[in-house]
Amino acid sequence: MKAAASIQERYDRLLRIALPIVVLALGLLLWEAIVWINKIPPYVLPGPRLILRTLIDDWELLSQSLVVTLATTVEGFLLAAFGGVGLAVLFNQSRLLEYSLYPYAVILQVTPIVAIAPLLLIYLPQPLAVLACAWIVAFFPVLANTTLGLHSVDRNLADLFTLYGASRRQLLWYLKLPSALPYIIGGLRIAGGLSLIGAVVAEIAAGSAGAGSGLAYRIAESGYRLNIPRMFAALLLLSVAGIAIFYALSLLNYLALRRWHESALERGA
Amino acid sequence: MAPATALQTSPSLLALHGVGKTFPNGTQALANLNFNVRRGEFLSLLGPSGCGKSTVLRIIAGLTAPSHGSVEWPDPSTHAGKSNRIGFVFQDPTLMPWASVFNNVALPLVLKGVAAASIARRVTAALDRVGLGKFAQAFPRELSGGMRMRVSIARALVTEPELLLMDEPFAALDEITRFKLNNDLLQVWQATGTTVVFVTHSVFESVYLSSRILVMSARPGRIFTELAIDAPYPRDNNFGTSAEYAAFCRRTSAALAQAMAGETVAGDNAAGDKP
């Protein structure tokens, strides 16, 4: 019985990996075939092989841009993480501060970043403006989730801390922050993807050339030049960067919560 | 261990004088409670749900302020370091899921700023006392319900409290586990000589454990009557199957039934007030 179940399980896991790959291969084949049969010119729709070729040929340029975009994304993300958690903790300690500032955090969040980016570019040097955009979109989910987490403390545990005369600092450090950790990490996982989006939006809005230009700028520039294969190649890199960020944060989630939180526990464990 | 009769006359650890509690929504939870907790006794508060038993514990612990009356600790040294002298066990184990068993039990000492070496020694001793010496590095998720409750008890014991407050600690456990924990609790109580105030709605549990039972009635919560269970300690399963035990249970059941009957009459009157 047990052996059969484990074979079934392994088969299931294999399918989970194999099926998306098969779908991808079929899709690429179909794409290539359509381009080839209809003789579609590359400036309308390049085939996957040409895109791969371009990725390799332009690797030097594209990899530089990838590093720029990734650096902006990571910096924006880190600022959002520390800013979001820090602000949430401050709000939690001071109700007046929360009342004073929270509405503006919401306004910053609901105003579309595409509309803010051109303004920021007027007042800030370009790299800083891009960073600010990445930060603005990424920090709100961290703030909102951390605030929720800090309020989700077990009442009895809070009583216990009161009974043993815990100070505010001890309450925060030993009870509120650990209670909030799953929420904080949930916020970080959203923020990771959003900071990439923020960086891309700002780069496209900035649209300036040079050694310091990121992947999104490469896409815009290639569009103007009708270099469609390079657009696809840059898009592919952006998408890979997004996937890498997602999995890095999933790993963080697993490492931080695996021993105690339902979300990270394996079933049956 | 002192015979149960000696516990009936030992000096008072704390006294409730005319304690009442009305919640902000107007519910009167407790009315005019007067009783002593004697040093070293095992006192149970027995009553139906909603009679304010848990509120009494919270008031004694200082977690809730009484609306009327006061809680007095005759020995001033006890009162000064009160938070050090009280251990509280909730109905749920109330453990920190992110911390190991060791760190959960160490919490009261960590909050007090006790030195690490001393913490290690005292936590190990407390875990050994509840039979969990081998589980120090386990996480609460990995333990059964009974073991989690033992961790909770070890945490309450680690400060060596003079007073252990327990709020229906075993209500959510299966009967076999509950019997085992009842016996273990009695052993711990006798070994440490601490005073226990134990809230329960089980007649059998209260008779088995207690040297004295306060039967409460509800709406508003008040002391209906007091019963001395003057069977000698140590008590074990022999006591639990004895005719003496059955007689105590019968008497306690009757008192509880009367307390609840009085409440029903009061309830009818209240209903009759409404047209």
- Please name the helix (run of DSSP H) or strand (run of DSSP E) that holds residue B16, with its range, or none: strand B12-22
A131 and A229 part of one domain? yes
How does pLDDT run across A107-162, given as a tens digit for each residue?
A: 888 888 888 888 888 898 888 888 888 888 998 999 999 999 999 899 999 999 98
- Is B30 in contact with B218 (CB distance < 8 Å)? no
A136 and A198 part of one domain? yes
A131 and A16 part of one domain? no
**Percent residues over pLDDT 90 in chain B:** 19
pLDDT above 60: residue A210: no
- Where do the H-state alpha helices sit in chain B? 4-7, 53-61, 76-80, 82-85, 101-112, 116-129, 145-157, 175-192, 203-209, 237-240, 243-273
pLDDT of residue A80: 93
The domain spanning residue B163 has which CATH number?
3.40.50.300
Q: How far apart are the first and last CA of chain A?
A: 19
A80 and A205 part of one domain? yes
Q: Output DSSP code: residue A92.
A: H
pLDDT of residue B5: 59
- Give residue A181's domain range: 46-264
| Inside any domain, residue B181 | yes
More confident residue, B18 or A19: A19
Q: Of the given ranges (B67-81, B89-103, B152-166, B211-225), which has the lowest mean pLDDT?
A: B67-81
pLDDT of residue A23: 95
Please give the average per-residue pLDDT across B60-64, as a whole number.
88
pLDDT above 60: residue B275: no
Residue B196 has φ and ψ, to the nearest 5°, of: -120, 130
Are B139 and A260 a contacting pair at CB < 8 A? yes
Q: Of the given ranges (A94-98, A244-248, B19-23, B71-75), which has the lowest mean pLDDT?
A: B71-75
How does pLDDT run across A168-198, given as a tens digit for each residue?
A: 999 999 999 999 999 999 999 999 999 999 8
- Is B163 in contact with B195 (CB distance < 8 Å)? yes
- Please name the helix (run of DSSP H) or strand (run of DSSP E) that holds residue A218, with its range, or none: helix A215-224
Distance from CA of B108 to the nearest CA of A (A): 6
| Inside any domain, residue B155 | yes
How does pLDDT run across A237-250, given as a tens digit for each residue?
A: 999 999 999 999 99
pLDDT of residue A207: 72
| Inside any domain, residue A251 | yes
A121 and A18 part of one domain? no
A98 and A203 part of one domain? yes
CA distance B95 to B103: 10
- Please name the helix (run of DSSP H) or strand (run of DSSP E) that holds residue B197, with its range, or none: strand B195-200
Say yes or no: B245 contacts chain A, CB-CB below 8 A: no
Residues A76-94: b if buried by 16+ CB within 10 A, e if exposed: bbebbbeebbebbbebbee
pLDDT of residue B270: 39
| Inside any domain, residue B220 | no
CA distance A83 to A243: 24
| Inside any domain, residue B257 | no
Residues A39-74: b if buried by 16+ CB within 10 A, e if exposed: eeebeeebbbebbbebbeebeeebebbbebbbebbb
| Inside any domain, residue B239 | no
**Which residues in chain A are contacts of B83 at CB distance < 8 A?**
163-165
Are B107 and A174 a contacting pair at CB < 8 A? yes
| Inside any domain, residue B247 | no
| Inside any domain, residue A122 | yes
pLDDT above 90: residue B47: no
Distance from CA of B275 to the nearest CA of A (A): 39
pLDDT of residue A267: 52
A18 and A108 part of one domain? no
**Which residues in chain A are contacts of B99 at CB distance < 8 A?**
178
A117 and A243 part of one domain? yes
A35 and A125 part of one domain? no
pLDDT of residue B8: 67
**Best residue of A153, A159, A161, A164 to probe chain B, by most B CBs closer than 10 Å:** A164
| Inside any domain, residue A269 | no
Mean pLDDT across chain A: 88
pLDDT of residue A173: 92
Token output for B30: 């407790």
Q: Label residue B271 by pLDDT band (50, 70, 90).
A: very low
Number of domains comprising chain B: 1
Q: Label residue A49 by pLDDT band (50, 70, 90).
A: very high
How does pLDDT run across B246-258, given as a tens digit for each residue?
A: 888 888 888 888 8
Number of domains comprising chain A: 2
A189 and A222 part of one domain? yes
pLDDT of residue A212: 61
SS3 B45: strand
CA–CA distance from A109 to each of A99, A103, A140, A151, B134 (Å)?
17, 10, 6, 21, 50
The domain spanning residue A137 has which CATH number?
1.10.3720.10
A35 and A108 part of one domain? no
Distance from CA of B74 to the nearest CA of A (A): 20
Are B108 and A161 a contacting pair at CB < 8 A? no
pLDDT of residue A3: 61
ipTM given for this complex: 0.84
| Inside any domain, residue B223 | no
Q: B232 Cβ partners below 8 Å, 6+ apart? A: B3, B4
- Give residue B114's domain range: 4-197
A26 and A76 part of one domain? no
Q: Output DSSP code: residue B231.
A: P
Nearest residue of chain B to residue A160 (CA atoms): B88
| Inside any domain, residue A26 | yes
How does pLDDT run across B159-196, given as a tens digit for each residue?
A: 888 899 999 888 888 888 888 888 889 988 988 888 99
| Inside any domain, residue B93 | yes
